[in-house]
Every structure is written in C-alpha cells, then in structure tokens.
Amino acid sequence: MEDRRCQVLFPCSSSVDPRLTEYHGVDNSAECADQLTTSSLSQQNMNTNEEEKPKSKKKKKKEREARYAFQTRSQVDILDDGYRWRKYGQKAVKNNPFPRSYYKCTEEGCRVKKQVQRLWGDEGVVVTTYQGVHTHPVDKPSDNFNHILTQMHIFPPFS
C-alpha cells in the first residue's frame, strides 16, 4: 500500500479561517451555502438549462449547486475519489500563499466541480470542496475516500 492515507479533519471550529473554508460538512441547502460563502461564486453557466441568451446575465442570483467541503490531512492535494478530474484553473487567493485549484469532472454530461486548496498555517491540511452532483456512480472508490465519506456521514451527492 502506498503512503497516501489522509486523515479527515472535522469542521473548522475557530482555528480555521472561515474565508478559506466556506463551510464544512454536508449542506444541501443552497441558501445556507449562500450565507456562508464570503465571496462571489460568479457565473455558473453550467447550471440551469436556459442558455438561450448567452449575453444576458441572469436576473438574480443563480441557484447554487449543493457544495460539500471537508478538510483532510494529506501529503497529496488530489484525493483519489474514483472520478476523473480535469484541471481548468488555478488562482491565488487572498490571505493564503497556496493557490486554489479548480477541477471539473471529465465524465460526459457531469458538471461536478471541485476546488482544492491547502490551508494556510498548516500546509498539511487540504481543503476540498465539491460542487454539484455526479451523474455517474463512482468507478472505483478508494479506501481513502470511502473513509472520508464515512467519517463525514455524507454522501448523497455521489449516488
């Protein structure tokens, strides 16, 4: 076995900068996510089915996809969750020397995204945020990831 085990760290009490971990654990409520999100989640033209007018920006806030965030202590940034991801961006974030990476699920038709970022102050900790619901079941879930899900008591999103 490789030495890629990661330890699930639980929510963020006060020792964590809330700006880095928008929220933790399970949360299906877009409203809640909305409240806890400190920054803009700008346009998500991946959502919804109305793409008729690419020019016109949606009226109000768009519905956000459910997001699930958790922290793990791991040497590797990328958790082997069984899905295939394609990196589509990387940004430096405020108050954190580590960049945030953006990934999309490569499954056709699957619009799930995730963000991966190391925690400032403890670079051994990786904050992973999933956004959306997979349209395909996981192919080969790793023990690591199963462990995480079990610990988190979640997993509605990955049917």
Partner DNA sequence: CGGGTTTGACCTGCGC
Partner DNA sequence: GCGCAGGTCAAACCCG
Residue ranges that bind DNA, judged by CB under 7 A: 19, 39-46, 57-58, 61, 84-95, 100-103, 106, 113, 115
Rg (CA), the chain: 16
Minimal distance in Å, beta carbon 26 to DNA? Answer: 19
Q: Minimum distance from CB of 150 to DNA (Å)? A: 26
- Which residues are CB-neighbours of 11 under 8 A, at least 6 positions away? 24, 25
> Least distance from C-beta 132 to DNA, angstroms?
10
Closest separation in Å from C-beta 103 to DNA: 7
- Of 7 and 80, nearer to DNA (C-beta) is 80
Spatial separation of the C-alpha atoms in residues 2 and 22, rounded to whole Å = 31
How many C-alpha atoms does 116 have within 13 Å on its Cβ side? 20
| Distance from C-alpha of 119 to C-alpha of 13, rounded to nearest angstrom | 14
Nearer to DNA, 20 or 125 (CB): 20
Nearer to DNA, 29 or 43 (CB): 43
